[in-house]
Amino acid sequence: MTLSKDSKIYVAGHHGLVGSAIWNNLKARGYEHLVGRSHKELDLMDPIAVKKFFDEEQPDAVVLAAAHVGGIMANLNYRADFIFQNLQIQQNVIGESFRHRVKKLLFLGSTCIYPRMAEQPMKEEALLTSELEYTNEPYAIAKIAGLKMCESFGIQYGCNYVAVMPTNLYGPNDNFHLENSHVLPAMIRKVYLAKSLNERNWDAVRKDIDLRPVEGVNGSNSNEEILTELAKFGITPEAVTLWGTGKPMREFLWSEEMADASVYVLLNVDFKDTFNSDAKEIRNCHINVGTGKELSIKEVAEKVIKEIGFKGKLCWDATKPDGTPRKLTDVTKLHNLGWHHKIEIDEGIHKLYEWYKLGICINHQTV
């Protein structure tokens, strides 16, 4: 099914890392009839509000990029929030899409849906073959439910709902919270702050924490208070301490490329294209989205340190969790459908660091 340039497309989560990139990608392709609502404007956990929104807007297509997300510690500490909020969002948006006869729906999940010890690289067929990684199990179960909803509506009702499972993402509009963000943005901020402290560039430190206060500490606090607070997160003038051992292997995809892959699937791939029509059982219709390349967390950290120019030490806190040992996607299905990535990790780290610095600069100028 082809969406015309006149199609009204609702992008749920259009202010987020992936949603904003999908929005921009659609705009660049000439799709002007886009609809988005901030969380304040539309609470996707409120079924009455979601129904009213669909009644009023009547979108032709939906991109479900809205989700409650976070890093390892957030997933460990807020397990109920991760499963409850994501299930509720999915139930409401997918349910109203069905009731309002939306022509096409794209659901975004995560490769954490796969078993902790899945054979590498992870094929779509690895889903539900063994136990999940404990640290993100509630979130993973919610995302599995979402992709199975898409699959089941396609099988039973012929709905054109497709689910994509992105690998670890990073890029513009990322979350740089020191505890709840994903690994790469957290690394960049920690190393940047440590470098600034190492060079006694207090102006840079204060600009950073004015933009993103750390547990209530901002640029107006004393040097001693700032040092004490940042040390809690492994940030000192002499060293940066990161979680775990640095041994886990990870795959990273630039968020704007994830957006391009998502829009490509939205415009060119139908539910019927996601499975073998001769199969007795239709399952694993989701599509992995990634680079098919991996490197260790330690290697990523060393690249970040080189990019930022930090002269101190890199240390590891092995008392903190590593997460899944390895998480490499098999992207054969995606390649066969016609999409390949272009941005490699070194270029991506450079682009993200430049974006991060520009954000601090712009914010400081507007204050």
Q: Which residues of 103-125 are buried (b: 16+ CB within 10 A; e: fewer)?
A: ebbbbbbbbbbbbbebebbbbbe
What ranges in the chain are assigned the alpha helix state H?
17-28, 47-57, 72-77, 79-99, 137-157, 183-198, 202-211, 223-231, 255-268, 297-308, 332-337, 345-366
- Angstrom CA distances, 160 to 147, 239, 255, 261, 334, stand at 13, 51, 24, 17, 18
Pairing mode of beta strands 252-254, 168-170:
parallel
The total number of residues written for the chain in this structure = 367
139 catalytic residue (yes or no):
yes
- Among the options 10, 114, 139, 170, which is catalytic? 139
Token couple for 27: 């705009």
Catalytic residues, which ones?
Answer: 139
